[in-house]
Amino acid sequence: MKSLLILIAFFISSSVALNCQQVAGSLEQIDAGLGMLVGVNSNDNIYILFGGTWVQLPGALQHVTVGPAGLWGVNSANEIYKMVNGNWVHVPGWLQQIDAGGDQFVAGVTMNDNVYCMGRNGAMGITSNQSPAPWQHLPRHLMYYSCGPISCWGVNTANEIFIMRRVTPTACTGTGQWQHISGFLTMIEVSVDGSVYGVNSQGNVYRRDGITASNPAGTGWTQMVISGVCQHVSYDLGQLWVIKIDGSIWTCS
């Protein structure tokens, strides 16, 4: 009980109220990177935001991501796709969730919570359905995994949080040693600039503070005060994008 009280106090020790505005549309998942914003709705329709208007892309995906490695996604059969010259190219392998926020490498988890990544040479070398996909397996089971320029963060089915340090374009597996981070989250996202945000089981949004190149694990969590229950977040260029439990889309600053 004492440890639980300490954890609760840790999570509510600091908070920041955000100014949020609703954006037209409804999505289940969203991802922002390099000034682009993509998402999927409950029917697996894929959208990208152009000039304030959602434009539907061809195909059907249950999770989509955009970043230095390009535009990627996975469908309801856990098949992997990359957008190449306006067309979806099938990538060998199976993932349930995928992230392209690393430095031209991609990572994700399977339906069995196995963690994989593909370095820059492999990810950028995917140009056709015949391209090889040199996925690398990482130890530990996670249900969500997201990467930035210097580290990757993940959460497991117990909502525990872990970080993998020293990931690079040619060594996406990093040190191979996981560091446990205090707190509990159901999903977590690392932005292209290394910022880390996540959502807990109550639908509250948190930001990791104190992240630097010398201390990629940061120093603590700050709650982002947003009305309503949130289910998914993504951050890019000073804007926090939020999907609430009703599918509504919000941008916060």
DSSP one-letter string for 113-179: -EEEEE-HHHHHT--STT-----EEEEEE-SEEEE-SSEEEEE-TT-EEEEEE--BTTBTTTTS-EE
pLDDT at 12 over 50: no
Cα–Cα nearest to 153, from 112, 102, 203, 204: 102
What average pLDDT does range 23-34 have in this prediction? 97
Q: Is 142:117 a contact under the CB 8 Å cutoff?
A: no
Domains of the chain: 2-252 (2.130.10.30)
Sequence-ordered list of residues with C-beta below 8 angstroms from that of 3, at least 6 positions apart, any chain? none
pLDDT at 194 over 90: yes
Q: What is the pLDDT of residue 13?
A: 53
Question: What DSSP line would sit under 44-91, residue for residue?
Answer: --EEEEETTEEEEESS--SEEEEETTEEEEE-TT-EEEEEETTEEEEE
- Paired strand residues for 111: none
Burial-class residue 167 by CB neighbours within 10 Å (0-12, 13-18, 19+): buried
Strand 15-17 to 220-225 pairing: parallel
pLDDT at 6 over 80: no
Q: What is the pLDDT of residue 135?
A: 98
For the entire predicted model, the pTM comes to 0.93
Q: Is 142:162 a contact under the CB 8 Å cutoff?
A: yes
The C-alpha atoms of residue 58 and residue 55 are separated, in whole angstroms, by: 10
* Tens-digit pLDDT profile for residues 30-83: 999 999 999 999 999 999 999 999 999 999 999 999 999 999 999 999 999 999
Which element (helix H / strand E) includes 216? none
pLDDT at 214 over 90: yes
pLDDT at 9 over 60: no
> Amino acid letter at 56?
Q
pLDDT at 11 over 50: no
Both tokens assigned to 33: 């990177």
